[in-house]
Amino acid sequence: MTSIFRKFYFFLIALFLALPLIVVAGVSVNQKQTLAFPPQGFSTSWYGEIFLNPEWRNALMASVTLAVLSAALAVTIALPLAWFLWRRIAPWANIFQLLGVAPFTLPPVITALGLLTFWATVGFYGQPWTAVVSHAIFFVTLPLVTLSLGFTSIDRSLVEAASTMGADERTVFRTVVLPLILPYIVSGYAFAFVLSLNEYIVAYMTVGFTMETLPIKIFNALRYGYTPTMASVTILFVTTAAIIFGLVARFGDLPKLLGAMSSDGK
Amino acid sequence: MRREPPQTIGDYAPLLFPAAMLTIFFVVPFGTMIAVSFFQRQQGGFYTPAFVFDNYARFLTAFFGGVLGFSLMMAIAVAICCVVLALPFTYMLTRMARSVQVVWLVALLSVLSLSEVIIGFAWSTLFSRTAGITNILVALGLMGEAKALTPSFAAVLTGMVYQAFPYTVLVLFPALVRLDPTLTEAARTLGASPLKAFFTVVVPALRNTIVATLIMVFIFALGSYLLPQLLGRPQHWTLSVLITDQAIYQSNMPFAAAMAVFLVLVTLGLVALTVIAGRKGEAA
């Protein structure tokens, strides 16, 4: 590909990806309560609104709490599973790997409806904690994939050396495996956290009427009249996502996490 | 410490929690949903255990058949657009410096994490008469007056391609980044233009990857729920929208479950067909 063609192509893709964000950023600093673009006047008051208006603040709190807890639960499900599959020869256990990947592979409405019928049947429909479990199951794929990748990159002779020196299983895990796998735990958590923050359909189907997360709040706001606060929340969220992924890239090998070979060619 | 088969019951301990969680909260709900799809609906939003096929029979009417057909067609269109756009993009991206790749990957992940609500809101603004892109065209003198581009099929398609594009790149990335660079170098040395090398060497070498990506993007697009509502007319609504509508607003869980089961079957069926077709093509 010639360089000019490539630059033009990349510019068009960048424009396509950025255009909605440019517009939303513009709307978010409107002075008046309209969705005008280009923005009329300049004001950052809509960003303040997120934290000052109790409705938006509660939605923000709900989303952050949900994301923090469900990502943690997803990691606690994925870590022992990935470790077991790396440590043991038990082919039938791969079925759980498959189950861990399935919820994220099927159309989300399937997982959402399955969980809705389940929570309704057992009588917990609408409880806030059901959303935590639902999101953890829905996003368990992400830490599972990063952790499986992380375990394959561990040099087994290191572990062997530790056990020859007399370390028992638990000590080996704590002193050798855990430090090596930590970056993958963090990135798996980060992926699940960011996606949970923005997830709509599973949250809506499980706790939509009792708990309003930010995506649900934005959708409800879209139906009953626009406010620039929606735009400010959007910018706040996309910035958060960019910072988190930026940190993952800064402290880890992002291309490798996404399937490339590591930078030293291993 | 080599991999070894579990010796004692205690060796299975780490598997206990993940296996229990996935079974209770994924396998059981999935089974519940299948069971409910055969249940009898009662007036007032309740349902009683039964074994009837009414819910499936109702689904096979012209209206729902049409919606299913539209959903599948839409998802196929999105998958094709995304792969056509993303394949050359990802290929060129993997040939760039690692630092450039990282910047693009962070950007793509950020866009991928955007909520469907937000994507819908952004594009409905871009396609609106008052704050949309037609205003820019007017300012440039390319257009007489601003007009609304939404709701329309093209608007839904654009929104869904936007949503699925980063996903497509990330699915293609591992295969492309591992592609042996000597393949294209050889073609170039023998006198092929870069474009020709791309189409005669890279694309055929990635045949299976491309097919797999098409399937994955297709399933991803099938899950789109809010974009058809925010950017389209009711005739552009997909099966996901109708399933949620039946489950939440019509309180007809058995019918919603039947549609969901049907959606799973159609999805898996299409995947199986494509895989079989891919195998045959390979053998030939």
Three-state secondary structure string covering chain B:
CCCECCCCHHHHHHHHHHHHHHHHHHHHHHHHHHHHCCCEECCCCCEECCCCCHHHHHHCCHHHHHHHHHHHHHHHHHHHHHHHHHHHHHHHHHCCCHHHHHHHHHHHHHHHCCCHHHHHHHHHHHCCCCCCHHHHHHHCCCCCCCCCCCCCHHHHHHHHHHHHHHHHHHHHHHHHHCCCHHHHHHHHHCCCCHHHHHHHHHHHHCHHHHHHHHHHHHHHHHCCCCHHHHHCCHHHCCHHHHHHHHHHHCCCHHHHHHHHHHHHHHHHHHHHHHHHHHHHHHHC
Name residue B220's amino acid. F
- The yes-or-no verdict on residue B55 having pLDDT over 80 is no
Block residue for tokens 């990063």: A146
Higher pLDDT pick, B45 / B173: B173
Q: Does B184 touch chain A (CB under 8 A)?
A: no
**How far apart are the C-alpha atoms of B235 and B188, rounded to whole Å?**
49
Residue contact B98–A263, C-beta within 8 A? yes
Minimal CA separation from B241 to chain A, in Å = 9
Residue contact B115–A93, C-beta within 8 A? no
Q: Does B47 touch chain A (CB under 8 A)?
A: no
Using one digit for the tens of pLDDT, what is the confidence trace for B21-30? 999 999 999 9
Residue contact A114–B174, C-beta within 8 A? no
Closest CA to A158 of B267, B194, B147, B2: B2
- Considering only the beta carbons, identify the residue of A83, A96, A218 that sits closest to B121: A218
Query: Counting runs of H as helices and runs of E as strands, what totals does chain A give?
Result: 14, 0
Render each residue's pLDDT in chain A as its tens digit; 266 residues.
568 888 899 999 999 999 999 888 888 887 776 666 667 777 778 888 888 888 899 999 999 999 999 999 999 999 999 999 998 888 888 899 989 988 888 888 999 999 999 998 898 988 999 999 999 999 999 999 999 988 988 888 888 888 888 888 888 888 888 888 998 999 899 999 999 998 999 999 999 888 899 999 988 888 777 778 888 888 998 999 999 999 988 888 888 888 776 554 43
In B, which residues are within 8 Å of A115 by CB distance? 25, 29
Report the percentage of chain B scoring pLDDT > 70. 95
For residue B41, the cross-strand partners are B47
- CATH class, range A54-254: mainly alpha
Interface of B with A in 86-145 (CB under 8 A): 88-89, 92, 94, 98, 101-102, 105-111, 113-123, 125-126, 128, 130-133, 135
Higher pLDDT pick, B280 / B86: B86
In the prediction, which pLDDT does B266 show?
84
Contact A16, B119 (CB under 8 A): no
Minimal CA separation from B280 to chain A, in Å = 25
Residue contact A107–B170, C-beta within 8 A? no
Minimal CA separation from A82 to chain B, in Å = 9
Cis? peptide before B166, omega within 30° of 0? no
**How far apart are the C-alpha atoms of B102 and A255, rounded to whole Å?**
7
Q: For chain B, which domains are there?
A: 65-173+207-283 (1.10.3720.10)
Within 8 A by CB and 6+ apart from B249, the residues are none
The dihedrals phi and psi of B47, each to the nearest 5 degrees, come to -145, 155
Closest CA to A63 of A205, A217, A244, A185: A217
Q: What is the pTM of this model?
A: 0.88
Which of B68, B99, B118, B249 is best to mutate for the A interface (most A CBs within 10 A)?
B118
Contact B54, B40 (CB under 8 A): yes
Residue contact A20–B123, C-beta within 8 A? yes
Interface of A with B in 58-87 (CB under 8 A): 76-78, 80-81, 83-84, 86-87
Residue contact B17–A77, C-beta within 8 A? yes
Name residue B8's amino acid. T
Closest CA to A198 of A139, A149, A157, A155: A139
Q: Does B1 touch chain A (CB under 8 A)?
A: yes
Using one digit for the tens of pLDDT, what is the confidence trace for B92-139? 999 888 889 999 999 999 998 888 888 998 898 888 877 777 777 777
Q: Does A177 touch chain B (CB under 8 A)?
A: no
Read off the tokens for A119.
Answer: 């929570």
Q: Does B183 touch chain A (CB under 8 A)?
A: no
Closest CA to A18 of B72, B214, B110, B85: B110
- The yes-or-no verdict on residue B276 having pLDDT over 90 is no
Closest CA to A51 of A254, A229, A231, A249: A229
Closest residue of chain A to B260, computed from CA coordinates: A110
Residue contact A113–B131, C-beta within 8 A? no
